[in-house]
Amino acid sequence: MKFDWTKTGHRMHKQGMALGTLLASTLLAIHPAQAGSVSRIEASGSKITISFDDLVEGASAFSLLGPDRIAIDVQGGKAGQGGYAAGIVKAVRQGQYDPNTARIVFDLDRPAVITEGRFSADGKSLQLNLQPVGQGQIANGRQSFLPPMNFRAEPPRKSYSVKMPLGKPRDSVNLPKIYGPSDTSRPLVVIDAGHGGHDPGTVSPHGGKYEKNVVLALARAIRDRLVAGGRVRVALTRDSDEFLVLEERYGIARRLNADLFISLHADAAGNEDASGATVYTLSEVASDREAAKLAARENKANIINGINLGGATRDVSSILIDLTQRETMNVSADFAKLLHREGSRQMAFRKIPHRFASFVVLKAPDTPSVLFEAGYLTNKDDVAFLNSGDGRSRVATGVASAIESHFARKLAMR
């Protein structure tokens, strides 16, 4: 299915980002001049109508997967409360994203895209048409909608526009290839190489190695080792230099119904002596200040120039840890111990090898997940180890045997 967002005539209601384009252009507002409040949101069937009590500058939309959502940012808008959900929309939430932007999030009962968005002639309501699509057809990027010129709120006095690359262009967020046995009853592990595209992660002071490349090479080595073992199925969230927001990473694991999710990273410290690997699992309360700082740094992958590409991070972090998630957290912690046990036969770990913090990428409520910091890119020896064939194969052996033991143990407990 093709949607006609790529044609931009003059004075179109839809401008800006086209499907799968390389650039996102973002207006950063400094002083809101005037603002219309969101007075009513109504969803019915595949239509959504957002009404304002005064003029707004414009709106833009982007999609999020797993759970499926569409977020609308209203520039020059003040958030109201709630909204009426029906049809494809399960729930409506709204909040003030920044002083000049109201954000409205629609929880969907299936993946959908906006096929048309149009402001009314008086600029005081925005109507959106939704259409359900396959998950692979959800595109990255924003769609923009502008009210007619005469009925547009004065833009903020000071505003500027920035353009930045959002990783490689892609037409859709496709589910990755699954490697290993074709028997779908075999457990599936998703390996997530952190960062990518415009986000290099940590840059090593020793030889300028990028974290995004180091961890991708490790992810591939682990995949190959698991495929050779023939016991489990494996998929990578990314197998190239592309950028994914954190929610997309665990979203892929959830959509594939994965049994285990491992996010791979390499650490940085001001003290170049710091070395060794650490396994992190999710906790709302960080085990120490350093773990909290690391989580804050890794969670920043979603934020560029103040714009949170992950969108719903604040919602996600406020999800109460329910019983399912508690169970998931226990399994994750068991796996973390196993990863230390098997991994330390191959490589060095830190004194406290298992720590806790609030990493967005670990927030899938139903997929046991760990974040593995394989070593320090600020440490000379770690850099040499992680970038050597021998080092990679040791990491791969350690991680793969932890994965295989984990599933063997689960099988034995059945």
Piece of the chain touching Zn ion by CB under 5 A; list 193-201, 246-254, 374-382, 388-396: 193-201
Residue 49 buriedness (CB in 10 A; 0-12 / 13-18 / 19+): middle
User: What are the phi and psi torsion angles at 174 (to 5°)?
Assistant: -85, 155
Radius of gyration over alpha carbons of the chain, in Å? 23
| Residues 121, 116: Cα–Cα separation, whole Å | 15
Piece of the chain touching Zn ion by CB under 5 A; list 178-186, 260-268, 309-317, 360-368: 260-268
Residue type, 40: R
Piece of the chain touching Zn ion by CB under 5 A; list 151-159, 160-168, 187-195, 375-383: 187-195
Q: Looking up tokens 């028997």, which residue turns up?
A: 183
Residue 188 beta carbon to Zn ion: minimum distance, rounded to whole angstroms = 23
User: What are the phi and psi torsion angles at 366 (to 5°)?
Assistant: -125, 5
Residue 264 beta carbon to Zn ion: minimum distance, rounded to whole angstroms = 8
Size of the site for Zn ion (CB under 5 A): 4
Piece of the chain touching Zn ion by CB under 5 A; list 235-243, 262-270, 342-350, 356-364: 262-270
Piece of the chain touching Zn ion by CB under 5 A; list 104-112, 131-139, 191-199, 397-405: 191-199
Q: Does residue 201 touch Zn ion according to CB under 5 A?
A: yes
Restricting to residues 25-84, name those near Zn ion by CB under 5 A.
none
Q: Does residue 238 touch Zn ion according to CB under 5 A?
A: no
Residue 208 beta carbon to Zn ion: minimum distance, rounded to whole angstroms = 16
* CA proximity to 92, closest of 82, 80, 102: 82
Strands 349-357 and 277-282: parallel
Q: Which residue, 298 or 382, has its beta carbon nearer to Zn ion? A: 298
DSSP 178-206: PBS-S-TTS-EEEEEE--BTTB---B-TT
Piece of the chain touching Zn ion by CB under 5 A; list 16-24, 80-88, 197-205, 238-246: 197-205
Cα 146–Cα 148–Cα 151 angle in degrees, nearest 5 = 105
Residue 213 beta carbon to Zn ion: minimum distance, rounded to whole angstroms = 12
> Which residues are registered as beta bridge partners of 117?
128
Report the residue from 265, 350, 392, 406 that binds Zn ion according to the rule CB under 5 A: 265
Q: How many CA atoms lie within 13 A of 167 on its CB side?
A: 24
For Zn ion, the nearest residue by Cβ is 265
**Helix count (H) and strand count (E) of the chain?**
7, 21
Residue 242 beta carbon to Zn ion: minimum distance, rounded to whole angstroms = 15
Q: Which residue, 32 or 194, has its beta carbon nearer to Zn ion? A: 194
Piece of the chain touching Zn ion by CB under 5 A; list 119-127, 129-137, 196-204, 316-324: 196-204
Restricting to residues 284-323, name those near Zn ion by CB under 5 A.
298
Q: Which residue, 193 or 226, has its beta carbon nearer to Zn ion? A: 193
Do the Cβ atoms of 25 and 16 come closer than 8 Å? yes
| Residues 372, 355: Cα–Cα separation, whole Å | 10
Q: Which residue, 142 or 209, has its beta carbon nearer to Zn ion? A: 209
Residue 291 beta carbon to Zn ion: minimum distance, rounded to whole angstroms = 13
Residue 195 beta carbon to Zn ion: minimum distance, rounded to whole angstroms = 6
Q: Does residue 194 touch Zn ion according to CB under 5 A?
A: yes
Q: Does residue 123 touch Zn ion according to CB under 5 A?
A: no
**CA–CA distances in Å: residue 15 to residues 31, 114, 232, 272, 412:** 23, 13, 46, 48, 57
CB neighbour list of residue 326: distance below 8 Å, 6 or more residues apart: none
| Residues 135, 68: Cα–Cα separation, whole Å | 9
Residue 265 beta carbon to Zn ion: minimum distance, rounded to whole angstroms = 3
* CA proximity to 223, closest of 388, 399, 371: 399
Q: Which residue, 15 or 299, has its beta carbon nearer to Zn ion? A: 299
Q: Which residue, 77 or 194, has its beta carbon nearer to Zn ion? A: 194
Q: Which residue, 68 or 298, has its beta carbon nearer to Zn ion? A: 298
* Interface positions with Zn ion (CB under 5 A): 194, 201, 265, 298
